Amino acid sequence: LNNHGNVTDETRQRVLRAASRLGYFGGGRQGQGQGGEERPFEGRAVREIGFLFCSFLPKTSVPTNPFWSHILHGVESEARRANVKVTYRAISEVQADPDRLLTMIYDMRLGGILLVGPAEAMTVRTIQQTGTPLVLVDNYIPGTDAVLGNNLDGARLAVEYLISLGHRRIAFMGGPFMAEAAEHQGKQPPRNRVYTIERRAQGYRLALLEAGLPVLPELYEDGGLSMDGGYLACKRLLERKEQFSALFCANDEMAVGAMKALREAGLRLPEDVSLVGFDDIDMVEHLTPALTTVRVNKEALGAVALRRLLALISHPDPVHVVSMLDVELVQRESACAPAPSVRF
């Protein structure tokens, strides 16, 4: 427990697992709950919390999407007001190894943790074993506090806007899709691995169904949530000669990649294809045409998450709270044209 070098890694892991089972993590004086249960963080002044970033890509050590940096900025701004230090750590490479993750959490000796991004349930449960107060950011797993944007209604607003312009064949770009997607391709829409992206897909489907329009699996593409992925996914749609007059992308990065593929195919935006993204990252208002997108208040996500975490540290609560922040549709030039006659 004191990190002496004369202890083998195998023994160290055994001791840390035992400490986790006994609720030993947190150190210092243990507090007592109303029922006599140990509450190691109650009543302690927190000096440091962790911003642990988790990606579905194992080798992602730094978040490349500016969406995450704005959340971190919101966390840090709120932390300065509370005189709390924020320690950043990417955990994508260790999340599949509970022992390594447990060791890392113990070594950091944090007063609380913001787990940011699409963490797996196993990662969440491993962190919960340490007894460290925990809040998920832009993710949801039952039994955990969480802060996220209203992804379903945001996507629904975007697709309803496209429908109001007369679009009837609206393609969807999300991903990464579940492994089962290949088995059901062409029969039903594939599911997304990332919780927030699946909620956006649900909003897309809901808007179509409420308008009496079919949900067509052939208009789904996996853009991998990146610019390059969006570019390749849009090319696949075009190569299959799928007919669509509008494209809804579940994040802005994929929309930027799709825009490039559409232009290379000789298609004009929005005269031939209308395009809508999600997140409103900084660059999209400077594109030509500027991208219509759903704005998420990313700084507010971080600030609200930190406030909830500090509240949990001061007053542990057995009732888990999920906070959902409003989003808004920002209408720009990329989706302002009425639906054309689909001809590609």
| Domains 9-148+298-324 and 151-296+329-335 agree in fold | yes
CB 88 within 8 A of CB 71: no
In CATH, the architecture of 9-148+298-324 is 3-Layer(aba) Sandwich (3.40)
| Average pLDDT, integer, range 103-121 | 92
CA dist 161 and 151 (Å) reads 16
Q: Among 73-82, 159-168, 333-342, which stretch is predicted with the lowest mean pLDDT?
A: 333-342
13-36 pLDDT, tens digit each? 788 777 766 666 544 333 333 344
CA dist 206 and 153 (Å) reads 9
Report the pLDDT value the prediction gives residue 57, as an integer from 0 to 100: 62
Report the pLDDT value the prediction gives residue 62, as an integer from 0 to 100: 52
Q: Based on the number of CB atoms within 10 Å of its own CB, is 62 exposed (0-12), middle (13-18) or buried (19 or more)? A: exposed
DSSP-assigned letter for residue 217: G
Report the pLDDT value the prediction gives residue 16, as an integer from 0 to 100: 76
Whether residue 261 is predicted with pLDDT greater than 60 in this model: the reply is yes
Report the pLDDT value the prediction gives residue 31, as an integer from 0 to 100: 36
Whether residue 38 is predicted with pLDDT greater than 50 in this model: the reply is no
Report the DSSP pairing between strands 322-325 and 293-296. Answer: unpaired
- CATH superfamily of domain region 151-296+329-335: Response regulator (3.40.50.2300)
Residue carrying structure tokens 């590609």: 344
| Residue type at 224 in one-letter notation | G
pTM exceeds 0.75, yes or no: yes
CB 332 within 8 A of CB 293: yes
Q: Based on the number of CB atoms within 10 Å of its own CB, is 328 exposed (0-12), middle (13-18) or buried (19 or more)? A: middle
Report the pLDDT value the prediction gives residue 35, as an integer from 0 to 100: 40
| Residue type at 313 in one-letter notation | I
The domain ranges of the chain are 9-148+298-324, 151-296+329-335
Report the pLDDT value the prediction gives residue 45, as an integer from 0 to 100: 60
Q: Among 204-213, 300-309, 323-332, 335-344, which stretch is predicted with the lowest mean pLDDT?
A: 335-344
User: Helix-strand-coil percent breakdown of the chain, rounded to 5?
Assistant: 40, 20, 40
Report the pLDDT value the prediction gives residue 342, as an integer from 0 to 100: 53
Percent of the chain with pLDDT over 70: 85
Token pair belonging to 234: 């849009």
